[in-house]
Amino acid sequence: MSATRGKTALALTRVWHHTSAENRVLGNMASRIAWVLMGKHKPTYDPAVDAGDYVVVSEAAKVHLTGKKGTDKVYYSHTGFMGGLKAVPITRMKERRPEEIIRRAVSGMLPKNTFRDRRLERLKIFAGPAPATYDRNVLRTWRDQQASTVGSSTMSSSPLSPQV
C-alpha cells in the first residue's frame, strides 16, 4: 500500500460554494470561508497545495457585528508618506464598500504566505444578491446549524452542510 497521496485533477477539482451574509456574525462566517478557501474540508488537504474551492458571498451589507464593533471599529491604512495614516470607521466602510469588510476579515484569517492572494481571488463578494452568472456555478450552499440542536454529531456541525 502506498503512503503517498495522488495529485490527480479529480482530487484537486474546485467546487463553487454560496453563503448569504444576512444576519451572520462576521468573525464566525469569515473563519468558515477561510476554511473552505484553504481546502481544509477536503480529505486530500495538503498545506503545500492550493486546493481550496470558490466561495460566493451575497448580502454583504447585512452582515452582523457583535458588541460595540458596529460603531467603534476602525480600519487603518498608511500611504507610506509621513503623517499618512488613514482611518476609516466601519460605519463609512459599510455604506461605501460593504464587501471590503468581509474581504479584510477573511484575509486576516488566511495564512500569511504566497497562496493568500490566489485564495482571495476565489472569494466573490456582493453587497446585494449574487448575479445569476455566479448562481449557475454554485454546487453547494451552506448555512449555520441551529444552536437548539444539542447533542448532534460532529458531522452536522460542519459549515458545509448542504441546504435541502
pLDDT in tens, the chain (164 residues): 455 555 666 667 899 999 999 999 999 999 999 999 999 998 888 899 898 999 999 999 999 999 999 999 999 999 999 999 999 999 999 999 999 999 999 999 999 999 999 999 999 999 999 998 888 888 877 766 544 343 444 334 445 443 43
Provide the residue type at 107 as one letter.
S
**0.95 cut: is pTM over it?**
no
In whole angstroms, how far apart are CA 28 and each of 18, 31, 151, 159? 15, 5, 21, 10
Structural domain includes residue 3: no
Number of domains in the chain: 1
Residue numbers of the domain that contains 119:
12-64+98-141
CATH number of the domain that 38 lies in?
3.90.1180.10
Number of other CB atoms surrounding residue 12 within 10 Å: 16
